[in-house]
Structure 1
Amino acid sequence: MKTLIQIVLCLSLFVTMASSSVASPVRLKDLVNFDGVRGNDLVGYGLVVGLDGSGDGLRNAPFTEDIMTNILERLGVNVTGEQFRPKNVAAVLVTATLPPFARAGGQIDVTVSAIGDAKSLLGGTLIMTPLNAADGDIYAVAQGTIIAGGATAEGDGGQVTQGVPTSGTIPSGARVEREIEFQLSSLNDLRLALREADFTTAGRIERAINKDFGRSVALMLDSGTVMLNVPATKMRSVAHILGRIENIEVEPERKARVVVDQRSGTIVMGEDVRISRVAVSQGNLTLRIQEEPLVAQPNPFAEGTTVVVPRTRAAIEEEPGIGLAEIPTGASLSQVIAGLNALGVSPRDMIDILKSVKAAGALHAEFIVR
């Protein structure tokens, strides 16, 4: 009963906050991506050294031995035919994102992840690793000491691991060697790509930009794109245009959605969610099965063997049913929550109810299950 009261109070507070909130304008830079202003993913294959006996087992990860041999031979050390099995090295994949307008000599963060059977990268040093883009060209080179996000302790009787010690980062660990060839100033038309396509939001963006310039410079092409005529703005460069429009505030239109996280039992509903007239009932059925084997032994000094006789107890328990609760036509978010609370169910039961209401065609919203 106490848990049920807490659930009702929390949901009531959530409904109060949702019903009293008013949609506020959002900056344009938080709603759209500007054409050409984007990052590029980089990846590389390298070697981490200096580990405290927590590296790859080379018998299980022969690719680690191959890259270690190649690095040593490039440094002038001939290891052909040698048998070495160090435990302080690990093969890793290095990933990074080259930000827009990154210039040669700049530094970017990298993420290092073990791909062999290394137990930890804590305290290791990444050896010079080229980072390639999708076109196969090298755009950055990474090297440095890894900051691992976890730790491992083990003994003869057990092992304790906290976090993920086989993955870490190197802040400013890569230096940009090559720039992305893109001239922002050469654009005659600048496209604004909405992160969440919607015709109403795109139309509002078009009107807001035209109002700011005092003339028609923006045109909505579709639900996800607004095109800006650069010459019509009469500004010195595209960079000046972006600096002017990125802080224009627009009120976005949101779709009616219900997002459910089954693992944590979390339910999030937008204020535009509506439910048609529907009746809901909820009940719980519990099946209990308990094994109680019985051991039968022969009498003392008698011939026979000890046997185990299986014995099972099964019972079905059904909690008192809750009557039908009616949710009226066109119910709002607060009415939906109030109707579910009237059933006295837990959040996880609410998830099942919402699924059933959606299957019945009475929930008018996009239903997302994670």
Structure 2
Amino acid sequence: MTTLPDHYEIVRERNGYGSADGAVGPVPAAERRRFVAVDDEGVFDRADRRRTLVATGVGMTGPPHLGTVGQFLTAVALQEAGLDVQFVLADLEPYHGGAPLDRVRRLAERYRTFALDLGFDPDRGRLRTQEGAREVMHTAQLLAPYYDPDRWTEDAGDDSGDTDPPPTEWERAVREAYEAGEDDRRSGTAAVARPGPSSEAADIHSAVLHGADFLHPLYAGDYERLVLQFGVDEHHLVGMARRFRDAAAVEGGVAGLYTRMIPGFDGTPKMAKSIPGAGVSLATSADEIRERIAGDPGGDPARSPVFQAMCLASRYDAERLGRLERACEAGDETWDRARSEYAEFVVGLAERWRATEE
């Protein structure tokens, strides 16, 4: 399997994206290692920055893992850089997939509490669920006539809307890992259930609402520019948002800012809830977390799930990450100490997550 940096380079080249180095405006250098690509390098350097909104969010198919933590901490870092940030807790996504509404509501409240605990400031941004944003539901109904299901799929190709490019080696590995996870779920051996649409109508409603989550701030006239901030594996969502915007004649710019991915443990390509054994869930015990993180011997930092998690799911600055990268590559006692320290940080996160249930 190719390394993630190889995948990032292919995605940048195919889509004409720029490197995030020096291209994320007010975001301080200490935080820039989070980002691997941007598709509008000047978006944060234009006048009247207050009219630009950074929009991001997470799905809620279960307890957060380190990738989820990375999304929250990235949002906090962007807020601290002076940017307006909208963070959507996609609670209706699992409900449309068949999850009971009371369970979804409880989980959404836990996610909200956890986000605030990690430092998200609701006075400097928007932290919301889908169910609670009735004005966005209204926008979704008004934009629904412009929704084209043939162009609003995860396999819609690159941002130009052309035919699908061949998957990278990393993307093929991710697809195979998900397929293996599906086989495990069918056989009853998977630990995490991944919901699917409970009806065709629910599937369509979910997709339209997803688009309205993006476009509502432009449609309502609250902002002139929208920057969608996701992991680079979801870069296709920016192209979809642009196509939906154009079809519905919504005014405003749409750009993309993409974070790195965290490789999974045990040789899996991606840390994800739906790939068994790939990640570190905050619902696991302290001993299990320590054991998982201790199992990373170092070596190539690009393939190290622990070092890549440090880059995204921590508040380590650029100088410290540089030292940790060298320690990871050496795989010596310095890496052992760093790994142990990070394990305790993650154990602390798990304790904070469990406290949201009280």
Normalized against structure 1, the TM-score is what?
0.23
Q: Greater CA radius of gyration, 1 or 2?
A: 1
Higher RCO (Cα < 8 Å, 6 or more apart)? 2
Structure with the larger helix share: 2
Normalized against structure 2, the TM-score is what?
0.23
